[in-house]
Amino acid sequence: MISGLDKLRKLAVKQVVPTASRQCDTRRVLVVDDEPEIVRVFGLMIRTAFPSVDVDRAYDGTQALATFQQHHHAVVILDINLGAVNGENVYRQIRGWCDAHEWEMPRIIFCTGYTPSPVLKRLVEPGVNRLMLKPAGTEVVVGTVQEVLTAVLGTPPECQISFATAAA
């Protein structure tokens, strides 16, 4: 027969679930791409659509990790083909940092101009991470960021850009 104390011990063990002690900064988005023009344009689109969001920029994997460690962004738009440290490795480094420091993992929007690899397809977790194909216009970039921020915030962020919808 299990005593009341044993039941409490079992319940306590079941409830010990690691949680993130530091939450993401929901006012920050990090754009990472080795093409400066893409970083500039994506940043402009996001700042125009969401004036309350700060956009940080990184042009390689090392700079991306350092910037993320400094600001703990809620959303990271991450190019896959960054060169020496590719986007998949940056993703793993961000995940490792978050795990080691008990930080909430940001939402990642993987960005590529190529056919997604099987590895990339596995990294895109429905409801968590997204995939955005380049070239991406304003509607795609703003729409994807809005969907991800809505998931993070629990409510849609105020967007300053509206898109016309085609009549059915």
- Give the list of residues 6+ apart from residue 158 with CB closer than 8 angstroms, or none: 50, 52
Is 36 inside a domain boundary? yes
User: Residue 67 sits in which domain range?
Assistant: 21-153
Is 139 inside a domain boundary? yes
What per-residue confidence (pLDDT) applies to 18? 45
Q: 7 with 34: CB under 8 angstroms?
A: no
Is 59 inside a domain boundary? yes
Is 68 inside a domain boundary? yes
Nearest CA-CA partner of 106 in 65, 46, 51: 65
Is 11 inside a domain boundary? no
Report d(CA 90, CA 156) in Å as an integer: 28
Is 75 inside a domain boundary? yes
Average pLDDT of each block of 10 consecutive residues along the chain (168 residues)?
Answer: 45 42 94 97 97 97 96 96 88 96 96 82 78 93 95 91 66
Domain count, the chain: 1
- How many CB atoms neighbour CB 135 within 10 A? 8
Is 13 inside a domain boundary? no
What per-residue confidence (pLDDT) applies to 106? 96
Is 149 inside a domain boundary? yes
Domain CATH number, residue 115: 3.40.50.2300
pTM of the model: 0.83
Report d(CA 1, CA 3) in Å as an integer: 6
